[in-house]
Amino acid sequence: MLGKEMKGEVKKRMKEDPTGLQAAYFCSKSAVDITKKVNENLPDGIAVYRTALKYRNPDNAPDATDTEVMNDMISQMKSGSFDKRPRLVSVGEKRRVYMPLIVGKACLKCHGDISKMDPKVVELMKKRYPEDRATGFAEGDLRRVMVSEISK
C-alpha cells in the first residue's frame, strides 16, 4: 500500500512538472504523513516503513538488520545474482519483508548527480534536508527498501 500510494503521487507530479520540483516538494512534505496513514489502517502487529543506506530524512535511517539486508542486495546486484522479489527475514520475535526499490530514470531528477539536477530541486533538498545523503545514484542502483514488519 505504501509503495503504491507514494509511487502514484510521485508519478502524477512528475507528469505535471518534469523538472522534479513538484515531486520533490510532495515527498518532502507528505511521505511521513502517508506512512503514518497507511500504518493506522493496518491490523495490529503489522507496520510498514521506508529506509535506505543513503537516506534523506534521518528518521528513515536503517537499523543493523536493514543495513545487512540492503548491503546483501547491493552485493548480489554487483555479482549479477540479484533477485527483485521481496525477502523475508526473522528479527527476534518479528518478521520483516523487504521490498527493494530500484532507481529508474525519473528518480534521477531528485536522487541522481546533483550537477545534473534542476537547481530548484537542489535548493529545496538542501533547505529541507541539510544532511541529505540520498543523491549520487545511477539508474539501476538500489535506492531504498520498503519494509513490512510483522509481530509473530
Domain assignments of the chain as residue spans, ordered by start: 2-151
- Rounded mean pLDDT of the chain? 93
30 and 9 in contact (C-beta within 8 Å)? yes
Give pLDDT tens digits for 90-146.
999 999 999 999 999 989 999 999 999 999 999 999 999 999 999 999 999 999 999
Q: What is the pLDDT of residue 66?
A: 98
The pLDDT-based confidence of 11 (bands split at 50, 70, 90) is confident
Q: What is the pLDDT of residue 145?
A: 97
Beta-carbon contacts of 63 under 8 Å, excluding residues fewer than 6 positions away, are: 51
